[in-house]
Chains A and B, each alone.
Chain A
Amino acid sequence: DGGITQSPKYLFRKEGQNVTLSCEQNLNHDAMYWYRQDPGQGLRLIYYSQIVNDFQKGDIAEGYSVSREKKESFPLTVTSAQKNPTAFYLCASSILGGRSQAPNEQYFGPGTRLTVT
């Protein structure tokens, strides 16, 4: 079965600790994305990557870091510098579209709910 997996589904951490969220896809997609979702709000882009060993900041990158060492994997680290880390985190991937075309649809993982106390 092809798809995107995120683990774990629920994660609890103490304030001041870094935590890494896993995202793996076997869809052979070039592009991968990390979003944050807070209650009553839509998704906000944290980081995205269109090719291995390269990534760009999204709208709310402060306090987060990523790596893209393999095409299939795009882990997100929530650092202690992130002031409000408690949220629902979603990973997505897509086929990279052409420059003059609208982006292809993104496929989403099931999400990880992070609670920091």
Chain B
Amino acid sequence: SQELEQSPQSLIVQEGKNLTINCTSSKTLYGLYWYKQKYGEGLIFLMMLQKGGEEKSHEKITAKLDEKKQQSSLHITASQPSHAGIYLCGADLQGAQKLVFGQGTRLTINP
């Protein structure tokens, strides 16, 4: 089983709608990282969360880390075609300075 579970695995939304992607672990997250990937390309860093209860925003994307540091959510407001892609969460689960990744969420935006 995955150490980091992402849900949903795929998501299709109408342009302009809001959406949320979740990333959950049974272990404490020493650092939680959100990345975006276009098919067949490398990962683009979006945001990093470290402290329980932390929330960060960039343009229309907001990421939160819960107080227990075991779950994170990525929320996109008023989605646009440019938001389409694969979103991956990564985390340091053991304080070992290396990351494990969730299986990714494929986001499609319909016009």
Interface string of B9-49 (1 = CB under 8 A from A): 10000000000000000000011010100001111110010
Shortest Cβ distance from B69 into chain A, in angstroms? Answer: 10
Contact call A43/B31, Cβ cutoff below 8 A: no
A31, A44, A48, A102: most-surrounded residue (chain B CB, <10 A): A102
Enumerate chain A residues within 8 angstroms of B40, measured Cβ to Cβ. Answer: 88, 111, 113
Cross-chain contact B97 with A96 (CB below 8 angstroms): yes
Residues of B within 8 A of A (CB-CB), count = 28
Task: Report the contact-size class of chain A (Cβ under 8 Å from the partner).
Answer: 20 to 34
User: Which residue of B33, B50, B98, B103 contacts A58 across the interface (Cβ within 8 Å)?
Assistant: B98
> CB within 8 Å of B: which of A91-117?
92, 96-97, 99-100, 102-103, 105-111, 113
| Docked-complex contact A48 and B101, CB < 8 angstroms | no
- What 6 A-B pairs are tightest by C-beta distance, nearest first? A102-B31, A42-B101, A108-B42, A108-B43, A43-B101, A42-B103
Interface residues of A (CB under 8 A from B): 4, 6, 31, 33, 35, 40-45, 48, 50, 58-59, 88, 90, 92, 96-97, 99-100, 102-103, 105-111, 113
**Chain B residues proximal to chain A, CB less than 8 Å:** 2, 4, 6, 9, 30-31, 33, 35, 40-45, 48, 50, 88, 90, 92, 95, 97-104
